[in-house]
């Protein structure tokens, strides 16, 4: 492997630092602060869920639209615009005094966050040889999913003991520090040449006409959406409402889920590489895990299962999502190299649309059962278990086809097989 300039590596580290902090902002709202925001703004579950919906919809649109720009202009340039929007959205969020401004801040933040992931993926593709892609992405997840872990128990602790405005203000300052380091590197490193290619619908059609890729996108979307929906939107509140556990206990479960995913993502690329860059065994395992977790959650609600059953279901779900790096690698190998950012971005687009759908569904169902909910003296609302049962049943129906499609997926063995599809 060619020697990589130190300044280029430092630039990549600052990018990963920014992505790590953006993961806290993405995963922690409304998930870890659902009850806090509902209480402070005296609003409904549907409105708080809307914070997740508006973020994920704009984030998803970014993934679809920014991909060709990243392929043309390079990750470094695109990241600069994205972080600027992220900082603006973060400042609006901590200054929000009413619901409309709160929602507007999440739209701006989602728009900025959408630039970052594809920029990092594009830079990794540019810096490292293709055969190391899955392994390097594992190392990337080591840093980025630290943000997911920090968005659970640590975030809840600071928000409850200080305030959510001060906590997210501190995160914004850290992003600004990383961004300053990135800009210093940006002015001193060699930037990728701007590719003289037009951006047109033909680029999108080439991806969307790929049937094998579209089937994989469905599986990728289900796998991604279930985990982020649990981690970033409903998981903590679900545990509190259904099992009557404390806020700290629920946050700890989500924390362990993030740790499981983080550990798995760091190792899975290396394991795949060690067994001949095989992808399919991990796809099938992911589908089995997600199906099992949905069944456990549904049965747990119906039969009034113990706390450990729901926690175990979440852990299995996290293990299923831990294979997502393999989905990303296979999507990349199903399409021409020059469309890397677009193909990876399209997969994340479908995943985030799925998260938005789950979030909308959750808010709708919880508000439908508002009359049966109990309200604590602190203003926190606890919804009945049957509201969540309907939710998990619908998600279960969406997961069922995933197992069949993963089983039928074509193995790539780490090669680009776009011409064979």
The encoded tokens of residue 126 equal 């540019």
Segments forming the whole domain that contains residue 229: 7-187+201-420
In this structure, is residue 285 part of a structural domain?
Answer: yes
In this structure, is residue 289 part of a structural domain?
Answer: yes
In this structure, is residue 2 part of a structural domain?
Answer: no
The encoded tokens of residue 378 equal 């602190």
Query: Distance between CA 365 and CA 359 in Å, rounded?
Result: 10
The segments of the chain whose pLDDT lies below 70 read 1-4, 129-135, 138-139, 144, 190-191, 197-199, 377-379
In this structure, is residue 195 part of a structural domain?
Answer: no
How many C-beta neighbours within 10 Å does residue 126 have? 13
pLDDT, tens digit (0-9, with 9 covering 90-100), for 386-395 = 889 988 998 9
Nearest Cα to Cα of residue 143 among 22, 43, 315, 28: 22
The SS3 assignment for 105 reads helix
Query: Distance between CA 121 and CA 5 in Å, rounded?
Result: 18
> In whole angstroms, what separates CA 37 from the centre of its chain?
21
In this structure, is residue 207 part of a structural domain?
Answer: yes
Which pLDDT value is given to residue 129? Answer: 66
How many C-beta neighbours within 10 Å does residue 395 have? 24
Kindly give, in sequence order, each residue whose CB lies less than 8 Å from that of residue 121, ignoring residues fewer than 6 positions away. Answer: 75, 137, 328, 340, 341, 344
Contact by Cβ (8 Å): 115, 79: yes
In this structure, is residue 217 part of a structural domain?
Answer: yes
Domain count, the chain: 1
pLDDT, tens digit (0-9, with 9 covering 90-100), for 159-183 = 988 899 999 999 999 999 999 998 8
The encoded tokens of residue 241 equal 């409402």
How many C-beta neighbours within 10 Å does residue 196 have? 6
CATH number at residue 293: 1.20.1250.20
Give the largest CA-CA distance in the chain.
64
In this structure, is residue 219 part of a structural domain?
Answer: yes
**pTM of this prediction?**
0.74
In this structure, is residue 1 part of a structural domain?
Answer: no
Kindly give, in sequence order, each residue whose CB lies less than 8 Å from that of residue 56, ignoring residues fewer than 6 positions away. Answer: 110, 352, 353, 355, 356, 359
């Amino acid at each position: 492997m060619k020697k990589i300039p130190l300044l280029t590596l430092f630039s990549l580290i600052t990018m990963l630092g920014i992505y790590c902090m953006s993961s806290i902002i993405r995963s922690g709202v409304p998930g870890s602060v659902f009850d806090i925001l509902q209480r402070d703004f005296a609003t409904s579950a549907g409105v708080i869920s809307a914070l997740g919906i508006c973020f994920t919809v704009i984030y998803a649109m970014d993934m679809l639209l920014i991909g060709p720009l990243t392929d043309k202009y390079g990750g470094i340039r695109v990241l600069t615009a994205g972080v600027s929007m992220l900082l603006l959205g973060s400042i609006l969020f901590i200054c929000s005094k009413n619901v409309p401004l709160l929602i507007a801040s999440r739209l701006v933040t989602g728009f900025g966050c959408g630039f970052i992931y594809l920029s990092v993926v594009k830079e990794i593709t540019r810096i490292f040889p293709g055969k190391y892609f899955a392994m390097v992405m594992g190392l990337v997840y080591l840093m980025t999913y630290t943000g997911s872990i920090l968005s659970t128990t640590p975030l809840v602790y600071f928000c409850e003991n200080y305030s959510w405005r001060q906590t997210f203000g501190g995160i914004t300052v850290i992003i600004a520090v990383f961004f300053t380091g990135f800009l210093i590197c940006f002015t001193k490193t060699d930037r990728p040449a701007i590719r003289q290619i037009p951006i047109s619908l033909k680029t999108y059609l080439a991806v969307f006409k790929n049937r094998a890729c579209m089937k994989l996108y469905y599986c990728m979307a289900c796998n991604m959406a279930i985990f982020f929906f649990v981690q970033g939107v409903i998981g903590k509140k679900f545990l509190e409402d259904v099992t009557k556990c404390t806020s700290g206990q629920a946050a700890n479960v989500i924390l362990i889920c993030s740790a499981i995913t983080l550990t798995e993502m760091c190792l899975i690329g290396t394991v795949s590489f060690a067994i001949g860059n095989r992808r399919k065994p991990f796809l099938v395992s992911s589908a089995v895990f997600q199906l099992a977790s949905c069944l456990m959650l549904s049965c747990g609600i119906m039969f009034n299962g113990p706390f450990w059953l729901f926690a175990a279901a979440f852990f299995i779900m996290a293990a299923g999502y831990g294979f997502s790096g393999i989905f990303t690698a296979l999507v990349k190998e199903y399409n021409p190299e020059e469309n890397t950012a677009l193909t990876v971005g399209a997969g994340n687009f479908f995943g985030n649309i799925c998260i938005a759908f789950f979030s909308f569904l959750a808010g709708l169902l919880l508000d439908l059962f508002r009359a049966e909910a109990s309200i604590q003296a602190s203003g926190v609302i606890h919804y009945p278990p049957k509201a969540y049962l309907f939710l998990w049943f619908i998600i279960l129906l969406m997961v069922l086809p995933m197992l069949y499609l993963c089983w039928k997926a074509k193995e790539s063995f780490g090669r680009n097989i776009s011409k064979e599809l």
